[in-house]
Amino acid sequence: MERSSGILLHISSLPGSDGIGSLGKEAFSFVDFLAKTKQKLWQILPLCPTGYGNSPYQCYSAFAGDPLFIDIQQLVADRLISKDSVIDQHFKAKKVEFERVEDWKMALFHEAFASFKKNFDRYKDEYVAFMSHNSWWLDDYALFRSLKTKYGEIVWNTWKKKLVIRDKQTLQEAFKELHAEIDFHRFLQFVFFRQWFKLKTYANSKGISIIGDIPLYVSLDSADVWANQDIFLLDSDSKPTQVGGVPPDYFSETGQLWGNPVFDWERVAERDFDWWLARIHFNLRMFDQVRVDHFRGLESFWSVAAEAKTAVVGEWLPAKGHELFLKLKEQLHELNIIAEDLGVITPEVEKLRDDFGLPGMKILQFAFGSDAANENLPHNYESNFIVYTGTHDNDTTLGWFNSIEKAERKVLRKYLKGNGKELVRQMTEYVWASAARMALIPMQDLLGLGSEARMNTPGTASGNWTWRFSWAQVRSNHQHFLREITKRYNR
């Protein structure tokens, strides 16, 4: 497998006048930027529609795309909305204002939907093909979102009982009653995937592979749990009995309590892993490679009582990742899957990763907390890894450097001599020079930005996921540096 490198940047962080990054012109310009700087990889976060807190790891569906990423100008070009309807909202350039963006875009989407219905013949063949490939998940999702609107966005397990237990006749009646709203959600997904695959095709034509992201868990308040209650540990009222998280770790002294329902792996196996297989196949069609977030949870997972206030008290329970990957191996020639194997990693987790030849992850920010034997130091890497300065869950490298303790700084000084942005560049070069097959940095680190540009602080529920860059921040020296180290280290 060839050496390669690239940038970690979520779609929401792209520039533009829509108040949030989109699948439009600026995304295509970013592909051009990657090609110009000789990069081969663009890694993004999950693209699904976000719920509370706007986290891409807490979504209403594991399959749907977030309509907020739909590019308005493409809708104008497709004559689905008039140019006059698009009035400059003067959104903030460096922060996503999620609620304002949603209100503005949804009004335009309703106009686009009205035009789509009037001009349906123009899209008929394409739309029918889209529905035939996606109705297996889209019908449940569209009904789920329509019911959430009807019931004031409350969690699905508090709807009337017959809807909660998915009584067939009640669902049929709901489909009939809410058909207009259901068709609107189907339309949004049609447009999202139409724009997404246009962008992916362009990226691939420029030699850029896109790395997607699959969270291990799904949100309780999602179409996935509502439609597949039997594969999760829920009680008779469809409430979780156990929830996911991790014990105390680098990020938190009390662990991380995510609150997602955990899988009933016995039932997952009885169903022949159908939901999981569908999910991975779907993502491998959307992306060229996918990272499985919290990969260790496929070997064993930290299970916490649903009523617990922190993740300190829990237990490791076995999962069935090995059987799942055996099934996948039967179906796919190649497993283009990256294992996010950070945190408390046991020999069993490493064996699961290595048995299927999956690349693991290394984080350079984690390398200086001990001595020269630290597995995150570049001289200790084996080749089948993807290495980062930091990820979306870390502080930016400049922010990290400014906050580390004296002991860690002392170890760091054995390897690196600079300060500030100079040090960030040295760390980037270490990552590029390493034996790891793939090397990535967050866009924030290329630009040498501080903690103000951090994407996410694990364990906090608000104030995350809002960072955006502007092209004015990208200097010619950034491009020159990236192009030069990529050439120098054969990436």
Rounded Cα distance, 68 and 72, in Å: 10
Q: Is 139 a catalytic residue?
A: no
Per DSSP, the three-state class of 211 is: strand
424: Cβ contacts below 8 Å, ≥ 6 apart: 389, 397, 398, 401, 445, 448
Exposure string of 50-74, with b = 16+ CB inside 10 Å and e = fewer, is bbeebbbbbbbbbbbbbbbbbbbbb
**Per-residue tokens: 380:** 């200790």
Active site (annotated) includes residue 88: no
Sorted by sequence, the CB contacts under 8 Å of residue 204 that are 6+ apart come out as 210, 288
- Contact indicator for 389, 424 with CB cutoff of 8 Å: yes
Rounded-to-integer distance, Cα 486 and Cα 39, Å: 7
- According to DSSP, the β-strands at 256-261 and 337-339 are unpaired
Indicate left, alpha or beta for 458 from its phi (over 0: left) and psi (-120 to 50: alpha): beta
The set of residues, in sequence order, having a beta carbon less than 8 Å from that of 212 and lying 6+ positions away, is 44, 46, 47, 283, 286, 287, 289, 290, 291
Is the Cβ–Cβ distance between 232 and 265 less than 8 Å? no
Residue type, 400: W
Selecting among 66, 213, 340, 341, the annotated active-site residue is: 340
Closest C-alpha to 58, from 211, 239, 260, 247: 260
The catalytically annotated residue of 139, 213, 221, 293 is 293
Evaluate whether 362 touches 387 at the Cβ level (below 8 Å): yes
Of 18, 71, 140, 393, the active-site residue reads 393
Active site residue 270: no
Question: What does the alpha-carbon distance between residue 323 and residue 335 come to, in Å, rounded to a whole number?
Answer: 14
Quick one: residue 294, left, alpha or beta (phi over 0 = left, psi -120 to 50 = alpha)? left
Q: Which residues are catalytic?
A: 293, 340, 393
